[in-house]
């Protein structure tokens, strides 16, 4: 299992697409759309790729991605650490988790 966030420094929640693969435990966040194919090898996605994402407030987006992160951990068996590490590129997520 691995988390991949190589060149990406920060991705705003509005553009954040959480990708994962339950088979190998990989999780990453990329900008939506993923025109570079960074996440092509992963089989599941959540966030900015959903058609109603942009109609949500920032707080609703943060809440939704945290809820989805827990569902991924519980239902797909990814480690909470892998998911958290992937989401750390999202400043709104970091603020929600740390209060800073």
Q: Could you read off the pLDDT of 16-70 as tens digits, one per residue?
A: 999 999 999 999 999 999 999 999 999 999 999 999 999 999 999 999 999 999 9
With cut-offs at 50, 70 and 90, classify the pLDDT of residue 99.
Answer: confident
With cut-offs at 50, 70 and 90, classify the pLDDT of residue 8.
Answer: low
Q: Which residue carries 């599941």 as its tokens?
A: 44
Instruction: Name the helix (H) or strand (E) containing 74.
Output: none
Coil/strand/helix, residue 66: helix
DSSP assigned state of 28: E
- How far apart CA 5 and CA 86 sit, in angstroms, is 7
What residues does each domain of the chain span? 13-98
- Evaluate the omega torsion of the peptide bond into residue 33 and state whether it is cis, within 30 degrees of 0: yes
Instruction: Name the helix (H) or strand (E) containing 31.
Output: strand 26-31
């Amino acid at each position: 299992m691995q988390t991949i966030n190589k060149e990406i420094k920060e991705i705003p929640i509005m553009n954040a697409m959480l990708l994962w693969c339950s088979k190998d435990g990989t999780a990453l966040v990329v900008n939506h759309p993923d025109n570079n194919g960074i996440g092509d090898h992963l089989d599941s996605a959540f966030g900015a790729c959903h058609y109603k994402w942009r109609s949500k407030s920032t707080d609703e987006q943060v809440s939704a991605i945290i809820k989805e992160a827990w569902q991924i951990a519980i239902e797909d068996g990814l480690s909470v650490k892998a998911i958290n590490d992937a989401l750390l590129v999202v400043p709104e997520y970091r603020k929600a988790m740390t209060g800073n």
